[in-house]
A and B are shown apart, each in its own frame.
Chain A
Amino acid sequence: MPTISVDKYKLYEALGRKFTTAEFEDLCFEFGIELDEDTEDQERPIVNGEQEPPQLKIEIPANRYDMLCFEGIALNLNIFLGRTKPPNFRVVEPKDGLLQTITVSPEVAKVRPYVAGAILRNITFTKDRYESFIALQDKLHQNLARQRTLVSIGTHDLDTIKGPFTYEALPPKDFKFVPLNQTQELTGETLMTFYENDRHLGRYLHIIRDAPVYPLILDSNRVICSLPPIINGDHSKITLNTTNVFIEITATDLTKLEIVTDMMVTMFSEYCAEPFTVEPVKIISDHNNQTRITPHLRPRVTHAEVDYLNSCTGLSESRESLCQLLSKMAYVARPSDKDANLLEVAIPPTRADVLHQADIMEDVAVCYGFNRLPRSSPNRSATVAAPLPINKLSDIVRIEAAMAGWSEVMPLTLCSHDENFAWLNRKDDGNTVVKLANPKTLEYQVVRTSLLPGLVKTIRENKSHSLPIKIFEAADVVFKDPHAERRARNERHFAAAWCGKSSGFEVVHGLLDRLMLMLRTNFVVGSDGSPDVKPDGYWIEELNEDTFFHGHAAAVWLRLGGKEQRIGEFGILHPSVLEKFDLRFPVSTLEINLEVFL
């Protein structure tokens, strides 16, 4: 969730009253934003000899792009408090009817296909407004625009450049310009090198670096206004004195392009000579049917069902009072003339988060007050509870193991490849283990296929514990499974480890016997009975696997309904295994598959 810093007392001034921190916190809570921090009583940085005024740091829900700046927060809270009506955002064409245009070259399809434009006429910047204007671009770039990959914004002093504009794509060698706040001219190629180690811009270069052509916004004199999504030209940069702002926005995603454009102009059109008006720009893009005038700023009109709004919220409000409630969230709603169950709801261009009447219904609940909503019984229908069979089974085994004097541990599911294989003297056949693509740490490379690594690591980390150590775990391991939809499946295992001055081989063997007894599984000798009537039960056979000390390991076999399968093994860990896990005392382990007992 983005956190926005706003000047505390300027916000209170904009809201027309002072708040105590607790009061403001309550307002945020009710609205659904969160006051993260009030810096009033903190040490604040001193910039140019002046201490930064107290800030409120407010957490904004990830879908409220219209609250990523001071202006948006103040506007939405004022509407919520009933102090202002939702503004009527308007597109106003110039008196001579001649729109600025951006002509799109088909070449840009190769790198960044879409563009939109808008002009803020006769805007008055102050230091605060200017900084907020820059900060909003940054927040939109970071959040909705996914680090400028989807959308990027360029803002220009319109009085320094001259339309009509073009959006073109040129090979990086074929153009040069002075980037923002630089003095030397750079070509597309040299610019990439120039900004390579730039802390701020370096991370955006990859978006176009390897493209055959780079996107450019040019004016009628071939002045390069910007190289999206990297940087603007120095020539057209805006200052505190700029009065006419040309905004061009380029994108790879049309929906996000429209949202970003709407946010930029709605938030700052407030400061235009005629507030909440925007001069549109004509985009000429016939090759992909995107010729249009941007932005349109028309509210999206939709319908909301009165019975739906009321029944989800548990209210029984009239159509009129629902409309009244919705006005607190910037909607303009009115009862439909055609259908007694419908509201006609105009969703302002600022509310890009509204996708469905469910969103409108939530706003009814917010405006009414979540904590004031009428309570109803959640027990409309009776249901019957049931545990998941594998969990019930493993809980039985867990309790029995604990009653036998073993302590339960819960190591992690993720481990390194070595811990799962090489350190246990086991081989990766390529068909067993699920591997992670992007772990942040080398500790987590695979999803375990055995509970042993976690158990022995737990012993390693508990050197100060008195001996013997007796621990167990009943949990899932994961195996690749080409036949499964997710190409992998979990398997519930039980494992135990003993660590002491002697090997404890017979102790883990005894634990196996105890668990089998509790699971009603008899001990049988492999060759018992005639071939036709072999009794069900378990038996063990000597096992030669490198994980274990030779001659001191056994495979556990189970015959159930005549079906014979190996369900696990136990033994004294091989001294070379102990060495790799840095264990100084003998360790015996037991691991079995529990799923077979379901």
Chain B
Amino acid sequence: MAPVSADSAGDLAHEVLRALANTDQILSTEAFPKVPFETLKAALDRLSSRSMVVYEQIERQEAVLEPEAEQIVQHGSHEARVFEAVHKALGGLSIQDLETTIGDKNVTKVGQGKAFREKWIKKEDNKLVALVDSIEDVTRSQLRFIQETKSHDPKIIADLKKRKLLNTAKVISFKVSKGPKFALEIVKEETDLTADMLATGSWKTANFKPYNFKALGGHQVAGALHPLNKMRHEFRQIFFETGFTEMPTNQYIESGFWNFDALFVPQQHPARDLQDTFYISDPKTAGRPGPTSADDKQNYDEYFENVKQVHENGKYGSIGYRYPWAEEELVLRTHTTSVSAAMLYKLAAQKGPDGRVPPVRYFSIDRVFRNEAVDATHLCEFHQVEGVIADYGLTLGGLMEFFETFFAKMGLTDLKFKPAFNPYTEPSMELFSYHKGLKKLVEIGNSGMFRPEMLEAMGLPKDLRVYGFGLSLERPTMIKYAISNIRELLGHQVDLNFIERNAAVRLDKD
């Protein structure tokens, strides 16, 4: 509210108080007919917020005279004016003289017709003469009544409206009466406690304006984290709580070797089709797997040869896929399992305190790429949540037990496990959970124990078993925030207001 209008409202407010001093009630139309509606309302609101007055807003339809009607009230109706002129002139008036006398062509024309119809005048030898001595100007008296009272018999109003002499308008007025704290002076009300008040002690006597508890508070200039990353944080937290180390998945470009071959995915597998995988045109070819640092002493050539053999001829108790295997080019990784494979190969060279390969738990949450047509549920990139547990004597029931713990932290219970197929895990198992909203089992992830063909080729001991599991980050986030189009979550088409306003994830709560 601008200070100027507050001041004028202040003066007006005092006037309202004075007007009420000796009466219980005033009508704004009577007491302040000239004050514009908005100004008056501001003053009344100010007074009523302090309980000094109470007011009621009255809306009614008012008849307002058109300019022509104003003229009639002043001079009489057209026909009356014609009659008066004719009546005054002895021996009648010619039409031309009538017009000169009245001085208004339109009034003369309309009034003449009417006066004829009323049989007040007649034409005699080209002159107009009066037929009666006096007339009653009904229109004029009706309009005069309306001018004074702003109303009349609805039938008359309607008739006059039809004759375009009247218009009706909505008029708002106020019925104002004294409030419980009525006084002639407005006590100054403070809106806020200030440092000055504390310094001067004026807060002790100051009057504080009541706070509006129905309104929202002030706007915060807040930063915000992306909802998908908030979900990522929750998952990461659960992984840390359960002893998982994060894998270096900051490697989007992969060789066909790590993305597929090392995982025992045959080269004719549909997943390796151009339809599904982004291949790279520049750079053109991948390097062979080799040491990643100076102290990396693993025999990568032997590993490469093992992978080739297990595909082509079979090895490690497997008959293999029996096809001619070839070195493959670069791809945008289709899953983060490529990194899991590289990590597991590195693990094969490690030794724990007992001289054996140590048990490990690895996880990652990072971007993967699929050459899919983009639609509401598919994007070319999304985030994969991946976990790997390597240990001795693991059983399939242990993996189920792990999932019960892991998903309970997200509030998901009553898991169901379905046998499934995946080229690099055997057994493979899909995870389902009952979704209360959708009222059905929904798939929440994929898992299994990595195949011996994959692990033994790396040189991992035969009795070290490795669980692997994966889920998407987008799917639970879309369910959490009730998003049906993935493009509203990931990518540049996301609404910033959505990012700024979405609540914390808190997977353990609902």
Q: Do A and B come from one complex?
A: yes
In the bound assembly, the distance between CA atoms of A213 and B494 in angstroms comes to 56
Q: Are the CB atoms of A370 and B226 closer together than 8 Å?
A: no
Contact of B268 among A253, A376, A454, A489 (CB under 8 A): A253
In angstroms, Cα B152 to Cα A405, docked, is 64
Complex CA gap A300/B322 in Å reads 15
Q: How many residues of B contact A (CB 8 A)?
A: 111
Which of A87-95, A306-314, A501-509 faces chain B? A306-314
Contact of B395 (CB < 8 Å), options: A314, A371, A492 = A314
User: Interface with B: A40-48, A123-131, A267-275, A440-448, which one?
Assistant: A440-448
The answer to whether the Cβ of B182 comes within 8 Å of any Cβ in the partner chain is no
Does the CB pair B225–A388 fall under 8 Å? no
Residue of B nearest to A482 (CB): B283
Instruction: Pick the contact of B251: A370, A380, A444, A490 (CB < 8 A).
Output: A490
Given contacts A380-B393, A409-B496, contact A486 B426 (CB under 8 A): no
- Residues of chain A lying within 8 A (CB to CB) of residue B389: 378
Q: Which residues of A contact B244 (CB under 8 A)?
A: 383, 385
Q: Does B461 contact A (CB under 8 A)?
A: no
Interface segment among A133-141, A163-171, A459-467, A562-570: the answer is A459-467
A376 surroundings in chain B (CB, below 8 A): 395, 397-398, 401
Q: State whether the Cβ of A583 lies closer than 8 Å to any Cβ in chain B.
A: no
How far is the CB of A31 from the nearest CB of chain B, in Å? 7
A465 to chain B, nearest CB (A): 5
In this complex, what residue of B is CB-closest to A147? B273
The residue on B at minimum CB distance from A447 is B252
Nearest neighbor of A372 in chain B, beta-carbon distance:
B397
A435 & B421 in contact (Cβ 8 Å cutoff)? no
Q: Which of B217-272 contact A (CB under 8 A)?
A: 221-226, 228-229, 233, 236, 239-255, 258, 268, 270
Check if B174 is an interface residue, CB within 8 A of chain A: no
Give A407's nearest chain B residue, CB to CB: B224
Interface centre among A34, A441, A469, A485 (most CB of B within 10 A): A485
Say yes or no: A405 contacts B221, CB within 8 Å: yes
**Is the pair A465, B496 in contact by a Cβ cutoff of 8 Å?**
yes
A486 to B330, CA, bound (A): 7
What are the residues of chain A within 8 A of B416 when measuring CB–CB? 29, 371
Bound complex: CA A478 to CA B393 (Å):
40
**Cβ 8 A contact of A29, one of B360, B418, B421, B426:** B418
Which residues from 343 to 379 on chain B have a C-beta closer than 8 Å to any C-beta of chain A?
A: 358-361, 364, 367, 369, 371-374, 379
B391 touches A380 (CB 8 A): yes
Q: Is B79 an interface residue (CB 8 A)?
A: no
User: Number of contacting residues on A, CB 8 A?
Assistant: 101
Are B287's CB and A486's CB within 8 A?
A: yes
Cα-based distance from A210 to B322 in the complex (angstroms): 27
Q: Provided the pairs A362-B426, A402-B224 are in contact, do residues A465 and B250 lie with their beta carbons within 8 angstroms? A: no
Q: Chain A residues near B247 (CB, 8 Å)? A: 388
Residue of A nearest to B290 (CB): A485
Using known A-B contacts A356-B452, A380-B391, determine if residue A371 contacts B417 with beta carbons closer than 8 Å. yes
Q: Which residue of B is nearest A457, CB measured?
A: B492
In the bound complex, what is the Cα–Cα distance between A487 and B290 (angstroms)?
12
Q: In chain A, what residue has the closest Cβ to B258?
A: A486
Known contacts A362-B426, A405-B221: A378-B280 contact under CB 8 Å:
no
Given contacts A62-B421, A435-B282, A437-B281, contact A355 B320 (CB under 8 A): yes
- A161 CB to nearest B CB, Å: 32
Contact of B396 among A365, A405, A444 (CB under 8 A): A365
Partner pick for B500 among A254, A255, A365, A407, CB 8 A cutoff = A407
Q: Is B274 interfacial (CB 8 A cutoff)?
A: yes
CB of B497 within 8 A of chain A? yes
Q: Tell whether A357 is near chain B: CB-to-CB under 8 Å.
A: yes
Q: Quick check: is A436 within 8 A (CB to CB) of the other chain?
A: yes
Minimal beta-carbon separation of B375 from chain A (angstroms)? 12
Scan residues 377-394 of chain B and give those whose CB is less than 8 A from a CB of chain A: 379-381, 389, 391-394
B421 touches A63 (CB 8 A): yes
Q: Is the CB of A362 within 8 A of B428?
A: yes
Cβ–Cβ contact A370 & B429, under 8 A: yes
Interface string of A359-379 (1 = CB under 8 A from B): 101100110001101111110
Name the interface residues of A470-506: CB closer than 8 Å to any CB of B.
Answer: 470-471, 476, 478, 480, 482, 484-490, 492
Contact A490 B278, beta carbon cutoff 8 Å:
no
* Contacting residues of chain A (310-359) with chain B, CB-CB under 8 angstroms: 311-314, 353, 355-359
Interface centre among B254, B281, B395, B404 (most CB of A within 10 A): B395
Bound Cα distance from A378 to B403, whole angstroms = 9
**Interface stretch among B11-19, B81-89, B311-319?**
B311-319
- Bound Cα distance from A147 to B69, whole angstroms: 91
Closest Cβ of chain B: how far from A88's Cβ, in Å?
Answer: 22
Known pairs A312-B396, A358-B451, A407-B223; A462 contacts B496 (CB<8 A):
yes
Contact call B398/A486, Cβ cutoff below 8 A:
no
- Knowing A370-B417, A385-B244 touch, does A375 contact B401 (C-beta < 8 A)? yes
Contact A358 B426 (CB under 8 A): yes
**Does B373 lie within 8 Å of A440, measured CB to CB?**
yes
Rank and list the top 9 A-B pairs by shortest CB-CB distance, nearest first.
Answer: A32-B419, A61-B421, A314-B395, A378-B402, A402-B223, A362-B427, A381-B359, A457-B492, A437-B281
Please determine whether A412 and B380 come into contact, CB atoms closer than 8 angstroms: yes
**Closest residue of chain A to B322, judged by CB?**
A255
CB of A235 closer than 8 Å to a CB of B: no
13 residue pairs from A and B, CB less than 8 Å apart: A64-B421, A253-B323, A312-B395, A313-B395, A356-B426, A370-B427, A378-B398, A383-B361, A385-B240, A401-B223, A405-B223, A437-B278, A465-B496
B442 partner residues in chain A, CB cutoff 8 A: none
| Known contacts A485-B289, A485-B292, A408 near B226 by CB under 8 Å | yes
Residues of A within 8 A of B27 (CB): none
Q: Tell me the complex Cα distance, A470–B249, Å.
A: 29
Chain B neighbourhood of A381, CB < 8 A = 358-359, 391-392
- B149 contacts which chain A residues (CB < 8 A)? none
Which of A34, A478, A492 is B253 in contact with, Cβ under 8 Å?
A478
Q: Looking across the interface, which residue of chain A has its beta carbon closest to that of B456?
A: A356
- Chain A residues 423 to 460 lying within 8 A of chain B, measured CB to CB, are 433-441, 444, 447, 454, 457-458, 460
Q: How far is the CB of B403 from chain A (nearest CB, A)?
A: 9
A211 at the interface (CB under 8 A from B): no
Is the pair B332, A436 in contact by a Cβ cutoff of 8 Å? yes
Neighbouring A residues of B285 by C-beta, 8 Å: 487
The answer to whether A410 touches B494, judged by C-beta atoms less than 8 angstroms apart, is: yes
Contact code string B427-450 (vs A, CB < 8 Å = 1, else 0): 111000000000000000000010
Does B419 contact A362, Cβ atoms closer than 8 Å? yes
B495 contacts the other chain (Cβ, under 8 Å)?
yes
- Given known contacts A383-B243, A490-B250, A378 and B274 CB-to-CB distance under 8 angstroms: no
**In the complex, are the beta carbons of B496 and A486 less than 8 A apart?**
no
A386 to B282 alpha-carbon distance, docked (Å)? 35
Using known A-B contacts A378-B402, A407-B224, A478-B253, determine if residue A388 contacts B287 with beta carbons closer than 8 Å: no
Known: A380-B393, A385-B244. A409 touches B499 (CB 8 A): yes
Answer whether residue B74 sits at the interface, using C-beta atoms and an 8 A cutoff.
no
The answer on a CB contact under 8 Å between A438 and B279 is yes
* Option from B223, B236, B279, B398 in Cβ contact (under 8 Å) with A387: B236
The reply to whether A486 and B251 form a contact with Cβ atoms under 8 Å apart is yes
Interface check A112, CB cutoff 8 A = no
Which residues of chain A have C-beta atoms less than 8 A from B358's C-beta?
381
| A533 contacts B by Cβ under 8 Å | no
- Bound-complex Cα distance A383 to B255 (A): 30
CA distance A444 to B241 in the complex (A): 38
Across-interface contacts of A30 in B (CB, < 8 A)? 419
A362 CA to B423 CA in the complex, in Å?
A: 13
Contacts of A384 in B (CB 8 A): 243, 245
- A469 partner residues in chain B, CB cutoff 8 A: 496
Q: Is A391 an interface residue (CB 8 A)?
A: yes
Shortest beta-carbon distance, A116 to chain B, in Å? 15
- Asked if A413 is at the interface of the complex by the 8 Å CB criterion, the answer is yes
Q: B220: nearest residue on chain A (CB-CB)?
A: A405
CB contacts under 8 Å to A, within B316-339, are 316-323, 330, 332
Contact check, A414 vs B224: say whether CB atoms are below 8 A apart: no
